[in-house]
Amino acid sequence: MRQIKDNGLVELKINGASIVMLLGARRINPGVPSVLMLDCQSYINKIDFQMQSGISYVYDAIKPHIEEVLQKTVTQQLCSALRTQIFGWDEYFRNLNLNFTMYSNTEADLSLTSNPEISDKYADLNLKGQFRVPNVTTLEDFSPAPITFPAKNSNRSCAGISEASINSLVAAYYSSGSLNTMLSNASDSIKITTLNLTDVVPEISKIFKNPTPAKIRLYATSSPKVTLNAKNITMDFQGLFQIHVKPAEGKSQSVIEAKILAVLNGKISISDAKTFRGLIVNASTSLQRLQIDKAEPNNKEPKDATSEKAIQHIFSQMLLPNINEKLEQGMRIPSKILMNPSITSQKGYEQVEMDFIWG
């Protein structure tokens, strides 16, 4: 008996491959998605095996048997390979962090509230979209209205951020103290003296003969209320406006104090972050209306000497530009799967479109 060794080039053609796969999606604790393969059927119509060079006539003699074995093996391996891939996807979803800290002392809960709904045209995921501050139990429980997306042909993912979720975020921002910290930082960056205020508050020059350092203070006294309309965002802001003056000798004193109600127009934008994997949410605001309630000079001048017009001027021309500068710094949203976002305002929600990527 003699052993025969041979080598050559094999050409393998697969014709008429088909796979029918049934996937399931569900919500598992703690509110993360899970995918599983419910059924899989694969079929190879024909495999053509050709041996080039070598003793090809030997292989030609057993070609039907080789093709039969290859057809059964490949058919069986198709569903097995897909099952392994689906398992990898499921592991990826199970490890998604849908509860995370976005910025100092404010946590986001984006866990699923129900099982995903998946069809041949779309996948519908309902996320909680609530925000909280640890150890604070006084936050309002916001109830979102149903979101219905307009009909649109697009391969991009579409998300609706409800008015309730945005108000939940604003309430957490206020309750954590971050809102008033931001307002304080915006006010502190305004460097003025009583000389800068004499045009709008002339009576100040009667009290302080020489230029004296002054500070503007603005505090939110309740959580602002955001309202979303088509192509329009408004915010109702209630707060306390003060002007403090600190002489070279003596204690700082509040010379003007007023309760205010401001109606602000807002704009939200979202973009890819440049310094980390994720998104940046920016905002800007402008004044629509400012109502002054009980504007009082804290000095011996008559009360009507304090001009409401002065507060209007200081609020819109000094405070708002600095507040916008802080808002433009943006809020970080870490994400490894979302890119190329765009956002538009709708009635009751913000519509965000983005590309959904793997890896």
pLDDT at 228 over 50: yes
pLDDT at 68 over 50: yes
State how far the Cα of 24 lies from the Cα of 34, in Å rounded to an integer.
8
Q: What is the pLDDT of residue 220?
A: 94
Domain regions of the chain by residue span: 9-94, 99-356
Indicate the pTM of the whole model: 0.72
Say which residue the tokens 């925000």 belong to. 131
* 236 within 8 A of 261, measured Cβ to Cβ: yes
pLDDT at 47 over 50: yes
The tens digit of pLDDT for each residue in 156-205 reads 788 888 899 889 988 988 988 888 998 888 888 888 888 887 777 777 77
Mean pLDDT of 103-113: 81
Q: What is the pLDDT of residue 301?
A: 44
Angle, vertex CA 82, rays to CA 80 and CA 111, nearest 5: 130
* pLDDT grade for 240, boundaries at 50, 70 and 90: very high
Say which residue the tokens 């945005």 belong to. 166
Write the class of the CATH domain 9-94: alpha beta
Residue 120 per-residue DSSP state: S
Q: What is the pLDDT of residue 300?
A: 44
Residue bearing the bigger pLDDT, 138 or 206: 206
State how far the Cα of 285 lies from the Cα of 262, in Å rounded to an integer.
11
* 347 within 8 A of 146, measured Cβ to Cβ: no
Q: What is the pLDDT of residue 264?
A: 93
Mean pLDDT of 124-130: 83
Q: What is the pLDDT of residue 304?
A: 40
Q: What is the pLDDT of residue 53?
A: 64
Question: Taking the domain 99-356, which CATH number applies?
Answer: 3.15.20.10
Which ranges of the chain would DSSP assign to H, the alpha helix? 56-61, 63-94, 163-175, 178-188, 194-197, 204-207, 308-314, 320-327
